[in-house]
Amino acid sequence: VMAERGGYKHFMLKEIHEQPDVVEATLRGRVDLVNGDVHATEIGVSPELAREIRRVYITACGTSHHAGIAGRYWIEQLARVPTVVELASEVRYRDPIFYPDDLVIAISQSGETADTIAALKAAKAQGAKVLALCNVVDSAIPRASDGALYTHAGPEIGVASTKCFTTQLAALLMLAVYLGRRRGTLDEGRARETLQALWEIPNQMRDVLGDADYVHAIAKKMTHAKDVLFLGRGLGFPIALEGALKLKEISYAHAEGYAAGEMKHGPIALIDETLPVVVICPRDAHFDKTVSNLEEVRAREGQVIAIATKGDEQILEKSQYQVWLPKVRDEVLPLLTVLPLQLIAYYVAHLKGNDVDQPRNLAKTVTVE
Ligand code: G6P
């Protein structure tokens, strides 16, 4: 059994460490660095459709839904198409409105999630075009869709999704660049720089994952926490949600992901010296704002674990624990910021003696409502 897990103790840990390779596999043959573009034949959306759509409507569940939120930010920024993200379980019961010039993106690792299938059927019934973003080839969701964009993560066994998430991110960023180039909202220079940064991500992921021991030490301090708060802004927000989901799925601690700017509307009431707060605060466009949230946590004695950019003196001074990431373009940050959060969840669960690969009450694929 150890051999199946490639020498790792659990499938989840193996899958975390596979991420550089599978992200590379998802990009390979699709990214065109010479022209600053993405090959049309590889993306599941024709150039005509890319130009005609007036809205992108992303629907998914769980971890795939979090990838969708990052996808929204990218598609709006780079392709300037209004984009919404909806939980599939809500869409199906809400009498939703779709238009024939909507591009609906159904994101699903398994391609078999019942709620996501129901949401995409509602969209199709109203004439919208559907793109499946899936990992399992020829599963129900791609079969029911107009086009498919596959992630190449390979089989994912751990119930808590890791490598499928980062490949979904890579695919969504490629798609945003592709749409932006077709629609003329993204010039070749910025497209090339973004794709170049994405291309370099697998190696940077290798570096970050190489620091796993340090994250283990931080996780040790968090083992007995009953509640953990995750804060992020912009592309850090879906990662805060995902960090909290990972932790609750396998460690059974209560965890909440929050948009950093929303802290004052509720979670700030929870902060005291017992509360670990993971703040995603790399040197991106939102840095100053997020640091002021971090200071608010410190002022109330919260324990700050900062996910930050290497060499950031300000963060070193203001937080108790730090995980350092290399400096990268803002667009590709989520592919790095999520890695320490996956590791924290893994180590906390393992230190508690939980069954990491088969957490209680959860299923890998939910084919019932
Ligand atoms: C289950 C899994 C999660 C997954 C979610 C959506 O809850 O435990 O890891 O994110 O389903 O699954 P999908 O296959 O549609 O991405």
ipTM of the complex: 0.97
B/e letters for 337-352, b = 16+ CB within 10 Å, e = fewer, are bbbbbbbbbbbbbbee
Sheet holding 147-150, edge to edge: 83-87, 55-60, 102-108, 129-134, 147-150
The first and second tokens of residue 94, run together, are 């809400």
pLDDT of residue 1: 65
The first and second tokens of residue 9, run together, are 């103790």
**Quick check: CB of 159 below 6 Å from ligand 1?**
yes
pLDDT per residue as tens digits for the range 130-158: 999 999 999 999 999 999 999 999 999 99
Residues of the chain short of pLDDT 50, as ranges, are none
pLDDT of residue 84: 98
Closest CA to 229 of 178, 183, 265, 271: 271
Residue 112 and residue 136 in contact, taking contact as beta carbons nearer than 8 Å: yes
Residue 154 and residue 57 in contact, taking contact as beta carbons nearer than 8 Å: no
pLDDT of residue 369: 78
283 C-alpha to center of ligand 1: Å? 31
Would you mind telling me the total number of residues written for the chain in this entry? 369
Segment holding 182, helix H or strand E:
helix 163-183
Give every CB contact of residue 206 below 8 A, 6+ residues apart in sequence. Answer: 20
**Quick check: CB of 167 below 6 Å from ligand 1?**
no
pLDDT of residue 149: 98
Task: Enumerate the β-bridge partners of residue 129.
Answer: 103
191 C-alpha to center of ligand 1: Å? 31
Which one of 115, 169, 357, 364 would you pick to mutate in the ligand 1 pocket, going by the greatest count of ligand atoms within 8 A of its CB?
364
pLDDT of residue 4: 83
Give the Cα separation of 154 and 80 in Å (integer). Answer: 32
The first and second tokens of residue 261, run together, are 């700017």
